[in-house]
Structure formats: structure tokens, C-alpha cells
């Protein structure tokens, strides 16, 4: 099933890219975090609300198993339960802003870390640091990064996950804002991966910033420059 998206070529997102329902509430939240006049405290507050929505939606794409339980009335209820274990992996540093929302939705979730930085000489993303649970290959991974621009950092982080034994189809990539170039770059390499995003912008400017965008998410959220 594809999702309509005016900013994606052809007007339809790929079937494994999931756009949050563009409700009036979400549009108001996105307006707040895009506004250059929004102060840091409000930026954090409204970003956290969107992140919570992203995590909740991302969990919908994890497998479930049938489960029957007994209610306090003594009668059975035929429900479902999550199958398998979950791990959240933020791409440092902006991705760390999404940890709180994940922890609020998934009690006791394991967290890994990946740091990718751009090599100034080659202009290519390079792995600088990773710390992942020893059993991550057995887990479903929610990869966290607020912005999907060129896709370079995401591709490198996904390569790291695959090298540790994580299955491509067990990765769900969550971000607040994406562009078609980044989506296409990631899916060209990893067609079984799922992407969940809150909004899609038309593209990048000559400095590779998302436009109209929302600025540098990490700087605005954490209140400091690199």
C-alpha cells in the first residue's frame, strides 16, 4: 500500500515508507518546530510530542503474536503481544534527542549508539564509534535520526547494523523530516528496510540542507553548536 505525498516524485511514497497521518495536530506541531522564532524550550516540547508519535507508529511495523489473557472479570480476552526484543539505536548526536520518546513507549528497551561523521577530505561518512548490545542480531532495531537529508549517515549506520548480524527487514528507521533524495538513496541500498517519517520536504539546497526544513535539529534541541 502506497501513501500519497505531494513532495515525492510521482506523488506516491514507496510502499515501505510510512508517513504519519497529516492531522491538524501534527501540522501544528511541525509548524512550531519549523518556526525560526520558536525558543529552545518550546522546540524541545513540540519535537518530543512528534517523536512520541513516530515511535508509536514505528512499533506498528513490528511482528505480533496472538495472546489470550484473563481479565479481572474472569473472562478471557483474545489479544496480541509483541514478538521478539527491541533495540533503539540513535545516530549521535541529534538521534539521541529521540531516546526519551522511545523509553517512554518501550519499558526497559536496550539502547545502542552509533557516531557517524563526515570526512572533510573525502566528503564521505565514516564510522567513529559504535556501542551495540551483544545480542542485537536477535533484536528488531529502531534506528533514530531526526533528519534524512542525503542519506549518507543513515546508510553508513545501517551498514554497521548489518555487519553485526541485524536483518535488514528488522530495521525501522524513524525521522521527523525526510527528502526524496535521502529516501531513494537509503532504499536503493536497503530495499527491505522501513522508513517512518513525520513529513517530507521537496529537497536540498546547495549546502545539502533540507529546505524549507527546520534548521539544524541537534543545535536547536541541545542548544549548542558542534
| Residues tagged active-site | 118, 122, 216, 219
* Spatial CB neighbours of 182, under 8 Å, sequence gap ≥ 6: 148, 149, 150, 151, 154
| 171: its cell numbers | 530495521
Query: Three-state DSSP class for 165?
Result: coil
Angle between helices 152-163 and 180-189 (to 10 degrees): 20
Distances (CA, A) of 14 to 98, 119, 148: 24, 31, 15
Among 54, 78, 74, smallest CA distance to 66 is for: 78
Q: Whole-angstrom Cα distance, residue 188 to residue 138? A: 25
Amino acid at each position: 500500500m502506497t501513501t500519497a505525498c505531494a513532495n515525492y516524485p510521482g506523488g506516491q511514497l514507496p510502499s515501505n515508507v510510512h508517513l504519519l497521518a497529516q492531522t491538524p495536530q501534527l501540522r501544528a506541531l511541525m509548524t512550531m518546530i519549523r518556526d525560526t522564532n520558536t525558543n529552545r524550550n518550546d522546540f524541545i516540547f513540540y519535537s518530543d510530542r512528534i517523536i512520541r508519535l513516530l515511535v508509536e507508529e514505528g512499533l506498528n511495523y513490528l511482528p505480533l503474536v496472538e495472546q489470550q489473557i484473563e481479565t479481572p472479570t474472569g473472562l478471557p480476552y483474545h489479544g496480541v503481544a509483541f514478538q521478539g526484543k527491541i533495540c533503539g539505536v540513535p545516530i549521535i548526536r541529534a538521534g539521541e534527542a529521540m531516546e526519551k520518546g522511545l523509553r517512554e513507549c518501550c519499558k526497559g528497551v536496550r539502547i545502542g549508539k552509533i557516531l557517524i561523521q563526515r570526512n572533510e577530505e573525502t566528503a564521505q561518512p565514516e564510522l567513529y564509534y559504535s556501542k551495540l548490545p551483544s545480542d542485537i542480531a536477535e533484536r528488531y532495531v529502531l534506528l533514530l535520526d531526526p533528519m534524512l537529508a542525503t542519506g549518507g549517515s543513515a546508510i553508513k549506520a545501517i551498514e554497521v547494523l548489518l555487519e553485526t548480524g541485524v536483518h535488514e527487514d528488522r530495521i525501522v528507521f524513524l525521522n521527523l523530516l525526510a527528502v526524496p533524495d535521502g529516501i531513494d538513496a537509503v532504499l536503493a541500498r536497503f530495499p527491505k528496510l522501513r522508513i517512518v517519517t513525520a513529513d517530507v520536504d521537496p529537497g536540498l539546497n546547495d549546502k545539502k540542507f533540507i529546505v524549507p526544513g527546520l534548521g539544524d535539529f541537534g543545535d536547536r534541541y541541545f542548544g549548542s553548536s558542534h
